[in-house]
Amino acid sequence: MNWSTEQDLIYAWFESGTGNLVIVARAGCGKTTTIIEGIGRAPERRKLLAAFSARDAEELQKRCPAGVVAKTAHSIGYSLVLRNWEGIKIDKHGDRAKALTEKACGAKVPDAIKRLVTRLHTLGREILPHAESGDELLDLAQRFECVPDEMWEESGYTVHNVCSFAANAMFHAANERPAVRNVVRAIKQARPQPTRRF
């Protein structure tokens, strides 16, 4: 294979470089091929390649040389949690989020509104963790469709109510011990994918 001058510099770093290397490259210029070749040249016996999605990790694993493991960042983080804390399990049902919603809304709020509140305060804790009022969550509610249907608005449940309840749930999350312990929450990708930089 005829490698470019830039690729040869990248491979030299893989072979003997220290610290971090950031490569900015455009679509279609061979990023994956370059990283697979580079990681194969690295002298370490055990190597880990991080990917953005499970599908990317599976595809990379097929192309990686022996001794390289490809995983998502979430998978790497979860394996570290399991290794360092005993008795941890995944909360696939969102039990803590639902408990926070119940505390914020009370029993009289309809389930359809509670589902919007749960989604919004979960997003809020991930994207705007320092928000203190419902007004600060309004753009997030509209962007991720946490807005009640017109039927609910006629019943008095507006997007402002949802935002206020969600801000209250975020307050409880920040100031109280979790009701569900020894649990790692399963995260569904709600945000746009990050820009890939190589």
Q: Give the model's pLDDT for residue 175.
A: 85
CA distance between the termini of the chain: 21
71, β-bridge pairs = 50
183, β-bridge pairs = 89
Q: Give the model's pLDDT for residue 164.
A: 96
**Angle between the 111-127 and 159-175 helix axes, to the nearest 10 degrees?**
60
Rounded alpha-carbon distances, angstroms, from residue 82 to 39, 112, 126: 26, 34, 21
Give percent of the chain with pLDDT exceeding 70: 86
The predicted model gives 157-184 an average pLDDT of 81
pLDDT category of residue 186 using cuts at 50, 70 and 90: low
- Helix extents (H) in the chain: 5-16, 31-41, 54-63, 73-84, 95-105, 111-127, 138-143, 150-154, 159-175
* Spatial separation of the C-alpha atoms in residues 177 and 10, rounded to whole Å: 47
pLDDT category of residue 93 using cuts at 50, 70 and 90: low
Q: Does the pLDDT of residue 155 top 60, yes or no?
A: yes
Q: Which of 45, 51, 54 is nearest to 31 (CA)?
A: 51
50, β-bridge pairs = 71
The predicted model gives 147-172 an average pLDDT of 93
The predicted model gives 19-32 an average pLDDT of 90
Q: Does the pLDDT of residue 151 top 70, yes or no?
A: yes
All residues at 6 or more sequence positions from 23 whose CB lies less than 8 Å from its CB, including other chains: 10, 31, 34, 197, 198
Q: Give the model's pLDDT for residue 75.
A: 87
Q: Give the model's pLDDT for residue 191.
A: 43
**Angle between the 31-41 and 5-16 helix axes, to the nearest 10 degrees?**
30
Q: Give the model's pLDDT for residue 52.
A: 83
- Are 162 and 73 in contact, with CB atoms under 8 Å apart? no
- Give me the residue spans of the domains in the chain: 5-84, 91-185
Q: Does the pLDDT of residue 182 top 90, yes or no?
A: no
The predicted model gives 140-148 an average pLDDT of 94
The predicted model gives 20-36 an average pLDDT of 91
Q: Comparing 81 with 7, which gets the higher pLDDT?
A: 7
pLDDT single digits (tens) 40-68: 999 999 999 998 888 999 999 999 998 89
The predicted model gives 189-194 an average pLDDT of 44
Q: Does the pLDDT of residue 192 top 60, yes or no?
A: no
Q: Give the model's pLDDT for residue 141.
A: 95
- Helix extents (H) in 42-137: 54-63, 73-84, 95-105, 111-127
Name the average pLDDT for the chain. 86
Any idea what DSSP says for residue 47?
Answer: E
